[in-house]
Structure 1
């Protein structure tokens, strides 16, 4: 038996490939010393016995709802030391109507700006923009992002609302554009960590699909973030 237990909770909007993206990281977690349990409903958070034995919660659930019992179970688990981690809408657009969840995560997706109108084709790539993920000064020394340089992606560029309890390891900047209503560049956090009670929270906003998560920089950041967030050490 491995020394730690990871719980993957996945579901919600299928466009974020919750099954395929989380499956990418199961072998990594197992190699890193985790027994992995997979659930398709957030109601597992309401199971106190399951949560008490969980060291790391990996969530990929977009645009869903959560019960009062489930959000209490999730918050209680993180307060007690379980790690909570995820990427893209699976963590920052999971339960947008639940203020207790938003406070726990420290950020909420609000927009991914689209291409200029004359480039819109009506397909899934209309919001895939070239942009840069910029490592912050804090990120250059942090174990999750140490050794990673600023890097380019062409995918959804998340604009998030956030608070200053987050330790921001990377950012991305939305440029001012003549076809958009904002008038100066807007910088949003792209990777952050957060301490909550005895637990740790890790968020990466890149991760729309398996293609983005296979990017060497994104995958390294996510894998390191999962290990950083987890309670305890693997043997």
Structure 2
């Protein structure tokens, strides 16, 4: 009984640390708590928007850019991908936020983007604006960690499960419901998954019960990558505040790519 009570006590303290972001001790030892998110103050951010209008790139620009500026970032806004070819500009950029669904990228543009991220520039994005942007470019997909392939049923009601309460991006966030596109994706097995969703099989019976990552973070070279499949429309994530909170926190985390320590993890799904 004593060991069971001890276990319950430790679990409660760890849960409190996750929810409150404070330091606790268990048996005199500090319990692990989420690393505080960095500020956007002083960060140089590149916001690129365009591609398919159905994902509302202009509305997201008008919402996200003022928020980042209010947080202290200097934001340069572009409606094309040509900045990716400017080596000096890319080297001086702390964070790239891109929404360019179903678009094409030139070889020179892709090379500039990949090189900058490998060297430490962070990247953050959501939905098809990041992981359904350049369907023919597999190295780009290797960088982002996933590629959209389907959204059975279109806009539907579904739930999102927060699976990592010890990460600062999702700390204190509870599971939530959302009405939007439930993305079925091909996902890199070595991303750090922060939230998932489970398919019901109502629209595609053969995937009934499939658990799919919704939000993740990863590294590409020295660059931090944040992605969430939420965000088909701006109103969808604004009506589900936990979703917008994840996006904003992910942007903060990725913006520290050049300044914070690299986060290394290898979580192979398939055992050798």
Alignment of 1:204 onto 2:231: no
Q: Distance in 1 between matches of 2:129 and 2:78?
A: 14
Task: Classify the secondary structure of the residue corresponding to 2:232.
Answer: coil
TM-score scaled by length of structure 2? 0.77
From the superposition, tell whether residues 183 and 71 of structure 1 become closer, same or farther in structure 2 (CA, over 3 Å): closer
State the partner residue of 1:187: 211
State the partner residue of 2:193: 168
RMSD, aligned α-carbons: 1.3
Do the aligned residues in 2 keep the contact of 1:56 with 1:82 (CA within 8 Å)? Answer: yes
Q: Distance in 2 between matches of 1:218 and 1:49?
A: 34
Q: How many residues align?
A: 217
Q: Distance in 1 between matches of 2:207 and 2:77?
A: 44
State the partner residue of 2:180: 155
Task: Classify the secondary structure of the residue corresponding to 2:206.
Answer: coil
Indicate the structure whose relative CO is greater, using CA pairs within 8 Å and at least 6 residues apart.
Answer: 1
State the partner residue of 2:35: none
Deviation at 1:181, TM superposition (A): 4.6
Ranges in structure 2 where 5+ consecutive residues have no aligned partner: 1-40, 260-272
TM-score scaled by length of structure 1? 0.89
From the superposition, tell whether residues 183 and 200 of structure 1 become closer, same or farther in structure 2 (CA, over 3 Å): closer
Q: Distance in 2 between matches of 1:184 and 1:155?
A: 18
Do the aligned residues in 2 keep the contact of 1:43 with 1:67 (CA within 8 Å)? Answer: no
Q: Deviations over 1:12-42 (max 9, x none)?
A: 1011011111221112211222100011111
Do the aligned residues in 1 keep the contact of 2:94 with 2:122 (CA within 8 Å)? Answer: yes
Task: Classify the secondary structure of the residue corresponding to 1:207.
Answer: coil
State the partner residue of 1:38: 77
State the partner residue of 1:18: 57
Query: Which residue, 221, 224, 234 being the options, matches 2:249?
Result: 224
Alignment of 1:142 onto 2:181: no
Do the aligned residues in 1 keep the contact of 2:199 with 2:207 (CA within 8 Å)? Answer: no
Q: Distance in 2 between matches of 1:163 and 1:186?
A: 16
State the partner residue of 2:90: 51
Deviation at 1:158, TM superposition (A): 0.5
Q: Deviations over 1:16-69 (max 9, x none)?
A: 011111221112211222100011111211111110111010000000000111
Q: Deviations over 1:152-192 (max 9, x none)?
A: 00111000001112100001111123x53515321111000
State the partner residue of 2:12: none
Structure 1 runs of 4+ off > 3 angstroms? none
State the partner residue of 1:107: 146
State the partner residue of 1:123: none
Ranges in structure 1 where 5+ consecutive residues have no aligned partner: 115-126
State the partner residue of 1:129: 156
Task: Classify the secondary structure of the residue corresponding to 1:143.
Answer: coil
From the superposition, tell whether residues 183 and 134 of structure 1 become closer, same or farther in structure 2 (CA, over 3 Å): closer
